[in-house]
């Protein structure tokens, strides 16, 4: 099988960046096709730490060409900073980074609208980076795509009525209006800087798949944030599933032959929304600190909420994504615990609810496991796993009925064991 999707099975932050980096060395192409710079992937390679928000993590390998697909929304200023940071770290992007002209552009008015909406009745806990309002414009068929933006004549023609529309909204909030001419001048400069990267690659990508080239499709965020099947309305604005990846990349779903789902050995989420297995204060006091566990959002820096592994939610995520294997991350964070819990079901319902109001009635049923009380960070092969690690991992695999292919034992590239 020459094509693989790597997707998150929780509320994002599962460690996808590390797994994608680990698998990218054998790939010809890595494709990102969902979300925007609200996503964050961290990779530690050769004692250097890299942070990605829109550029695929596979860019660290010289042999890999990276694509940013039509399903993404792009903040030009943020992307240019990300490009510059990588170049400052010695990463050559020339002829290795391509941006689809079908992707949509995030403008300052999108960010302002996002922040204003967060002050409304439903506080979703978004990153405030304009992702949702940009997708709103795309769906309403009034957005500006990359291909239009890099053509000055078309850009100016499209921008003026849009700014007028947004200014009418800002007037309702007693907010200062956007200067259309100033915005055009600023973003025309960004367009000139990014235009060398813009290329319609979708047909070429499909041809490369048919030739047997190795393609990795890089998921963003996680299944529980999916606009359709996540914990709505506390979700993101795109489809975060493997099928959403195919749509965003411009290929048919059958082109993705294998899907690896990534999950932590426990659960986290950033922002508001339901979280059935979230730790009590007593449990939180016994868990590793946020600093030790590295549980701060890559994009926002916010502390992540922490809780036990939730099997019913993972089963839903595996089904939605058609996951064929799993990567289990951050086992090492559990090293100091006397006991570890797994939610194996809910007392009063057979499956996760559909509607937001029903989440408050969820009562998790737990199985409790003895901890291993020793460091796993230096483990290089399966035979070195402590007995209680093997019991824990085998139980997760059995409950999910999906093979665990990789176990990650730390943030570094080399801290991983391939089980299969």
Encode pLDDT of 252-309 as tens digits.
Answer: 999 999 999 999 999 999 888 999 999 999 999 989 889 888 898 766 678 999 999 9
Count of CB atoms within 10 A of residue 15's CB? 25
Tell whether the model's pLDDT for residue 38 goes beyond 90: no
Q: Collapsing DSSP states into helix, strand and coil, what is residue 83?
A: helix
Residue with tokens 């967060």: 118
**118 vs 171, which has greater pLDDT?**
171
**Do 386 and 399 meet the contact criterion of CB atoms below 8 Å apart?**
no
CA 317 – CA 329 distance, rounded (Å):
16
- Say how far residue 1 (Cα) sits from the centre of its chain: 24
pLDDT in tens, 82-110: 999 999 999 989 899 999 999 999 999 99
Q: What is the 3-state secondary structure (H, E, C) of 234-275?
A: CCCCCCCCHHHHHHHHCCCHHHCCEEEEEEECCEEECCCCCC
Q: Where are the alpha helices (DSSP H) in 41-151?
A: 76-88, 108-117, 131-139, 146-149
pLDDT of residue 114: 87
pLDDT in tens, 190-227: 999 999 999 999 999 999 999 999 999 999 999 999 99
Tell whether the model's pLDDT for residue 125 goes beyond 70: no
CA 197 – CA 219 distance, rounded (Å):
21
Domains of the chain in sequence order? 3-101+198-258 (3.40.440.10), 104-194 (1.10.300.10), 263-418 (3.90.170.10)
Q: CB-based contacts of 390: which residues, under 8 Å, 6+ apart?
A: none
Residues noted as catalytic: 13, 41
Tell whether the model's pLDDT for residue 39 goes beyond 80: no
- 68 beta partners: 32, 99
Q: Which long-range contacts (CB under 8 A, 24 or more apart) does 356-365 make?
A: 356/231, 356/232, 356/233, 356/234, 356/274, 359/231, 359/274, 359/276, 360/274, 362/274, 362/276, 364/276, 364/277, 364/308, 364/310
| 128 token code pair | 């405030």
pLDDT in tens, 339-360: 999 999 999 888 899 888 889 8
CA 241 – CA 8 distance, rounded (Å):
8
Q: Collapsing DSSP states into helix, strand and coil, what is residue 346?
A: strand
CA 53 – CA 83 distance, rounded (Å):
10
- 368 beta partners: 341
pLDDT of residue 76: 97
Q: In Å, how far are 7, 56, 319, 409 from 262, measured between CA atoms?
A: 6, 16, 13, 13
* pTM for this predicted structure: 0.94
pLDDT in tens, 356-415: 888 988 999 999 999 999 999 999 999 999 999 999 999 999 999 999 999 999 888 889
Q: Where are the alpha helices (DSSP H) in 287-413?
A: 290-293, 311-321, 387-400
The beta strands (E) that lie in 79-213 are given as 97-99, 104-105
Q: 84-115 burial, b if ≥16 CB within 10 A, otherwise e?
A: eebeeeebebeebbbbbbbbbbbbbbbbbbbe
pLDDT of residue 51: 83
**Do 202 and 251 meet the contact criterion of CB atoms below 8 Å apart?**
yes
Q: For residue 233, is the peptide bond before it cis, meaning its omega torsion is within 30 degrees of 0?
A: yes
Longest dimension (CA), the chain: 66
CA 281 – CA 222 distance, rounded (Å):
26
CA 359 – CA 53 distance, rounded (Å):
31
pLDDT in tens, 312-342: 999 999 999 999 999 999 999 999 999 999 9
Closest CA to 277 of 231, 323, 232, 240: 231
Taking residues 119-128, what's their average pLDDT?
A: 69
pLDDT more than 90, % of the chain: 79
Taking residues 17-38, what's their average pLDDT?
A: 93
């Amino acid at each position: 099988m020459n094509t693989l999707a790597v997707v998150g099975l929780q509320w994002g932050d599962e460690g996808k960046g590390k797994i994608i980096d680990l698998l990218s060395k054998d790939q010809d192409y890595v494709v990102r096709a969902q979300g925007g710079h609200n996503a964050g992937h961290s990779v530690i390679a050769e004692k250097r730490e890299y942070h990605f928000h829109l550029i695929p993590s596979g860019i660290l390998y010289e042999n890999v060409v990276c694509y940013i697909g039509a399903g993404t929304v792009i903040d030009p200023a943020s992307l240019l900073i990300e490009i510059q940071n990588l170049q400052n770290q010695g990463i050559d992007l020339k002829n290795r980074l391509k941006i689809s002209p079908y992707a949509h552009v995030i403008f300052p008015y999108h960010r302002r609208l996002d922040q204003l909406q967060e002050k409304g009745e439903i506080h979703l806990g978004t990153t405030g980076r304009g992702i949702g309002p940009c997708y709103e414009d795309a769906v309403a068929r009034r957005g500006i795509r990359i291909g239009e933006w890099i053509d000055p004549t078309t850009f100016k023609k499209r921008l003026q009525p849009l700014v007028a529309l947004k200014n009418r909204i800002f007037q309702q909030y007693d907010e200062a209006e956007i200067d259309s001419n100033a915005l055009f001048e600023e973003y025309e400069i960004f367009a000139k800087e990014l235009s060398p990267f813009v290329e319609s690659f979708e047909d070429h990508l499909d041809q490369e798949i048919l030739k047997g080239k190795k393609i990795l499709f890089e998921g963003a965020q996680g299944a529980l944030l999916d606009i359709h099947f996540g914990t709505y309305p506390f979700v993101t604005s795109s489809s975060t599933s493997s099928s959403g990846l195919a749509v965003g990349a411009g290929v048919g779903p059958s082109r993705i032959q294998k899907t690896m789902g990534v999950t932590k050995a426990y659960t986290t989420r950033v922002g508001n929304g339901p979280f059935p297995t979230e730790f009590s204060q007593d449990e939180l006091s016994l868990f590793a600190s946020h600093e030790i566990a590295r549980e701060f959002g890559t994009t926002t820096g916010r502390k992540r909420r922490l809780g036990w592994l939730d099997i019913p939610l993972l089963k839903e995520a595996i089904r939605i994504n058609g996951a064929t294997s799993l990567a289990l991350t951050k086992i090492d964070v559990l090293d100091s615990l006397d006991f570890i819990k797994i939610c194996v079901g809910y007392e009063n319902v057979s499956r996760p609810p559909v509607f937001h109001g029903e989440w408050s009635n969820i009562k998790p049923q737990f199985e409790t496991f003895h901890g291993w009380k020793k460091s796993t960070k230096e483990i290089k092969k399966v035979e070195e796993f402590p007995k209680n690690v093997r019991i824990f991992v085998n139980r997760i695999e059995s409950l999910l009925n999906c093979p665990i292919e990789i176990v990650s034992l730390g943030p570094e590239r080399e801290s991983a064991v391939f089980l299969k």
